[in-house]
Amino acid sequence: MSTAAFFYISVMKQENAEIVQGLRRRNPDLLDQLIERYHYRLMRYLLHLTGNRETAEDVFQETWVRVLERGHQYNGKAKFETWLFSVARHLVIDLFRKKKPASLEVLRGSGEDTGPIEIESTGQPSPFEFAVGREESAHIGLAMGHLNPVYREVLMLRFQEELSLNEITRVVDAPLPTVKTRLYRGLRALRSRVEEAGLESEKS
């Protein structure tokens, strides 16, 4: 192992140990810092998962309350964000169980081949339409909005969060072959959506 990798792992372990201790003591200052540090990534994950800003914001708050209440369950062995995302994911599943059982099946993975689903239609633009930074971002945002959430979730964990396959299995609570299948199918779907979006933007 290189010195840099060893240094990185030691720093990460030290950080995780501090988070474990702070969460056990329910230290509000630590929670303030964690909310500040992880708010963007958690919100991005929830938007990918729910496809709805209002729902994502509700679950966002609920997730941090849950982190406060059940913080003692985080043991520091995995990255904090993998535990955070799995807490958020459980809350989304609970919410869908109450609201729309069909959406829940898709998140559980049993509806993987059913194509895109409408989790909630509010008549407002998809959160991915708020994508900025590139000219074709509106088209890309639309393309993302049309991806099946179960694919969007693993693609986000792999390509934005840069999690390993094993870390993804922990977040989505699914076996490795399932995660790989979702990633391969998601990548295929993403490629064709982005190509279509590219063609659309060239036309317009």
Partner 1 sequence: MKRADHQRAQQFIDACQVEGISPEERTWLDSHLSACEPCSQHAGATERAIQAFRSVHIDTDPALVQATQARVRARAREIHEEAERMRPVWISAVLALVVTVASAPYIWQGLEWLAGKFGAPAWVFQFGFFWFWLIPCLVAAAALAGGLLGEQHAERFQVK
CB of 95 to partner 1, least distance (A): 14
Please, which residue, 119 or 155, has the CB nearer to partner 1? 155
CA–CA–CA angle 48, 82, 44 (5° rounding):
25
Q: How far apart are CA 74 and CA 84, in angstroms?
A: 9
Please, which residue, 32 or 173, has the CB nearer to partner 1? 32
The site for partner 1 (CB under 8 A) is made up of 26, 28, 31-32, 35-36, 39-40, 43-44, 47, 57, 60-61, 64-65, 67-69, 127-128, 130-134, 136-137, 140-141, 143-144, 155-156, 158-160, 165, 180, 183-184, 187-188, 190-191, 193-195, 197-198
Number of H-type helices and E-type strands within the chain = 9, 0
CB of 143 to partner 1, least distance (A): 8
CB of 187 to partner 1, least distance (A): 6
Please, which residue, 9 or 165, has the CB nearer to partner 1? 165
> What's 136-176 look like in SS3?
CHHHHHHHHHCCCHHHHHHHHHHHHCCCCHHHHHHHHCCCH
Provide the b/e sequence for 105-133 (b: ≥16 CB within 10 Å): bbbebebbeeebbebeeeeeebbbeebee
CB of 136 to partner 1, least distance (A): 8
Residue 134 contacts residue 197 (beta carbons within 8 Å)? no
Please, which residue, 117 or 194, has the CB nearer to partner 1? 194
What DSSP character marks residue 134? S
CB of 34 to partner 1, least distance (A): 9
With a CB cutoff of 8 Å and minimum separation 6, the contacts of 24 are 71, 72
Structure token pair of residue 140:
């890309």
Residue 201 contacts residue 139 (beta carbons within 8 Å)? yes
CB of 72 to partner 1, least distance (A): 12
